[in-house]
């Protein structure tokens, strides 16, 4: 495993769940990690648990200037900003017409605008240093429309389009050693899904493999070693869903059985949670 001494990293939404698991992987790799979250007290507790190689601050990713200040703070305290992970995200389920305007705006601002703000904040010191890696945690919902999660999916489509387009702009500008990678996992057992086991609008999140945060965090570490524009987790799921994006009429025709399977999986996981056999360990 490559070690990175005296280098700085920042993770958004890192007080718990996947963000905390990613921060843990980065600390193990030798990074000084800036743990950020809109819940500053929880971020401070998470950083304390990670040890002397972590520090914390409150960050609302919707605030562009706050993101830039967090990047500067990382450089000042860690000596550099080599990795920025945009992990903060929110999910509300159900038909789009059932969401009120604040809910729609929240998903678009955190999932899409927050990713844009974080990426641009990170690119400023990274371009100046001539190196760095932005990892954007997107979702399989960024590759194919997810029924019951349409506004969330739209926000993730925006995040992946921005990421790949900005990477292309970097290469056109002659910047070769600054990378942007999108990690697109299947459903992850994090606080975002804890209350969705009985929610029919969340069936899309259970149609494939339910991942543990540690599994996705480990893949983020591998992406740092071998940058890729898009990584799907698991890889076969990325390949399996692409036809639904290419042939939407076929996708619409097959929605019934797919979502029925998702609801069956929800019930199975709900039973496992009640029995104490999920999550494993």
Cα–Cα distance between 218 and 198 in angstroms, integer? 29
Strand 132-137 to 83-86 pairing: parallel
Query: Strand, coil or helix: what is 200?
Result: helix
Of 218, 232, 280, the closest CA to residue 24 belongs to 218
Residues 6+ apart with CB under 8 A from 75: 8, 81, 125
Cα–Cα distance between 259 and 204 in angstroms, integer? 6
What pTM did the predictor assign?
0.94
Cα–Cα distance between 154 and 161 in angstroms, integer? 11
Active site residue ranges:
152
Where in the chain are the domains? Answer: 7-275
pLDDT digits (tens, 9 = 90+) for 170-220: 999 999 999 999 999 999 999 888 889 989 889 999 998 899 999 999 999
pLDDT digits (tens, 9 = 90+) for 83-134: 999 999 999 999 999 999 999 999 999 999 999 999 999 999 999 999 999 9
Q: Domain 7-275: what homologous superfamily?
A: NAD(P)-binding Rossmann-like Domain (3.40.50.720)
- Retrieve residue 259's tokens: 């979502």
Q: What percent of the chain has pLDDT over 70?
A: 98
Question: Chain-wide mean pLDDT for the chain?
Answer: 94
């Amino acid at each position: 495993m490559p070690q990175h001494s005296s280098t700085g990293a920042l993770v958004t939404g890192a007080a718990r769940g996947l963000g905390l698991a990613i921060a843990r992987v980065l600390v193990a790799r030798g990074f000084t990690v800036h743990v950020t979250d809109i819940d500053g007290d929880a971020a401070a507790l998470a950083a304390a648990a990670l040890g002397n190689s972590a520090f914390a601050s409150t960050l609302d990713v919707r605030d562009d200037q706050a993101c830039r200040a967090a990047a500067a703070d990382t450089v000042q305290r860690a000596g550099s900003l080599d990795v920025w992970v945009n992990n903060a995200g929110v999910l509300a389920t159900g038909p789009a017409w059932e969401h009120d305007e604040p809910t729609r705006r929240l998903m678009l601002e955190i999932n899409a605008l927050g990713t844009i703000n974080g990426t641009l904040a990170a690119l400023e010191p990274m371009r100046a240093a001539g190196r760095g890696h932005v990892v954007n945690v997107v979702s399989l919902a960024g590759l194919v429309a997810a029924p019951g999660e349409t506004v969330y999916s739209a926000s993730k489509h925006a995040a992946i389009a921005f990421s790949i387009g900005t990477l292309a702009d970097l290469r056109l500008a002659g910047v070769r050693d600054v990378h942007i990678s999108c990690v697109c996992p299947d459903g992850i057992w994090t606080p975002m899904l804890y209350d969705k086991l009985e929610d029919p609008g969340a069936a899309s999140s259970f149609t494939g493999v339910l991942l543990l945060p540690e599994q996705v965090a480990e893949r983020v570490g591998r992406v740092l070693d071998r940058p890729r524009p898009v990584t799907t987790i698991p890889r076969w799921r990325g390949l399996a869903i692409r036809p639904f994006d290419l042939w939407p009429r076929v996708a619409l025709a097959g929605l019934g059985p797919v979502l029925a399977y998702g609801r069956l999986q929800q019930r199975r996981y709900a039973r496992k949670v009640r029995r104490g056999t999920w999550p494993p360990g």
